[in-house]
Structure 1
Amino acid sequence: MAAPQQSEPDSAASPALGRSLLWPVAAVGLGFLLVYNSFDASAGVPPAPSVVSLPAPSSTAAPAPKASSSAAQLGLPASDPQRISIKSIAVDAPFTPLSIGSSGQLDAPPANDPNLVGWFKDGATPGERGTSVVAGHVDTRTGPAVFLLLSTLKAGNSVDITRQDGAIATFKIDSVETFSKADFPNDRVYADKGTAQLRLITCGGVYDKKKKDYEDNVVVFAHLASVKNS
């Protein structure tokens, strides 16, 4: 995404950047779009088809899988993510689970912690078969946040996610793209390809002062490439 300073040169006199992040998410047996709110912005959107595979949560923790290329091809058991590392943009941050709030929208990670990412806890966990969705602030009221440089990633870069079961799932980036929130391609972004996929999402593009929101979303498309034990 573009650096926020391009649209908000005077951050002290303007509303917080990265006010909201629009990204559709499907719930089990129910398809709809949600608005990801960094702070207090809110908007409703019409129903959409379910496009994300959301497996039932595992009741017991599975043992850490052995490092192998076959594990990457087949996908891993469910296990909550603990930490994300993207060395090429100096990201090293913990996870917080995100869920759908009473408003029908996805709750945001706490805005008082700029170095925090959230994952949709009712979807696939990173490394499972399906599309795992991870979101982070581009900035907060106090300055830059964890996904400030997400748009600078390139195909071939790596994303490491340490899981609760002790496995480190390494994802290879396929592409980094920017989409208008007004015409977000949810079918493409969230489609279940039958393999372990990862989507990293934040705000991007021009910041609209009137709407207190960015016009675009930056989306990183990545696939599980390898697995090792921590």
Structure 2
Amino acid sequence: MAKNPAPRFLSVAGTTITDMAVVEVGVSPTGAMEIPEPFNQAGWYRFGPAPGAAAGTAVLAAHVDTTSDSAPFSQLKSLPAGTLVTVQRQGAPPLTFRVTRVELMAKDAFDGDSVFRRDGPPQLKLVTCGGRWLDEQQDYGDNVIVTAVPA
């Protein structure tokens, strides 16, 4: 089976997310998906499908903010359905996806099986933090999950 080209850049219409660098990431020591440290990079979960795969969900994630500023992915929570998302790939034509849903998923009830799907119709999920800031955890209570399908 031919491997799909890796995603390299991400653009989201109507936002400042334009040609955002995408790097390959894996799993952190805590068992969660790694997130690139630079807030202007998105991580592609390299153990799952790539954008353009015939089946399953390609997952890209990035930080929502820094200690002093909001990051580009902070705009995901307010994307309207129908927003176009473009993924540039290494050595292959770009792909366009259309946003179908934006949801908040509580981190303590995170459904990894629904996000990191390896079968079913091809989708792209963009993931960042959201919801309320929890001082005691030094983290947000939710994940913002944008679901997009091939346009």
Structure 1 length-normalised TM: 0.60
Please, which runs of 5 or more residues in structure 2 have no aligned partner? none
Is the CA contact (8 Å cut-off) linking 2:48 and 2:118 kept in structure 1? no
4+ aligned runs moved over 6 Å, structure 1: none
Counterpart CA distance in 2 for 1:104 and 1:181 is 13
**Could you give the per-residue CA deviations for residues 54-101 of structure 1, whole angstroms, max 9, x where no partner exists?**
xx883xxxxxxxxxxxxxxxxxxx000110000211202011110124
Q: When the two structures are aligned, how many residues end up with a matched partner?
A: 149
1:216 partner amino acid: D
> Which position in structure 2 is the counterpart of 1:44?
none
Q: Which has the larger radius of gyration?
A: 1
Tell me by how many angstroms 1:181 deviates. 1.2
RCO comparison, higher one (Cα < 8 Å, 6+): 1
Distance 1:219 1:80, change over 3 A: same
Please, which runs of 5 or more residues in structure 1 have no aligned partner? 1-55, 59-77, 226-230
Structure 2 length-normalised TM: 0.89
**Could you give the per-residue CA deviations for residues 126-164 of structure 1, whole angstroms, max 9, x where no partner exists?**
111211010011001242112011101011111000001
Higher strand share: 2
CA RMSD of aligned residues (A): 1.9
Which residue of 88, 92, 96 corresponds with 2:23?
96
> Which position in structure 1 is the counterpart of 2:10?
84
> Which position in structure 1 is the counterpart of 2:105?
179
Which residue of 21, 35, 52 corresponds with 1:108?
35
Is the CA contact (8 Å cut-off) linking 2:48 and 2:116 kept in structure 1? no
Counterpart CA distance in 1 for 2:43 and 2:14 is 20
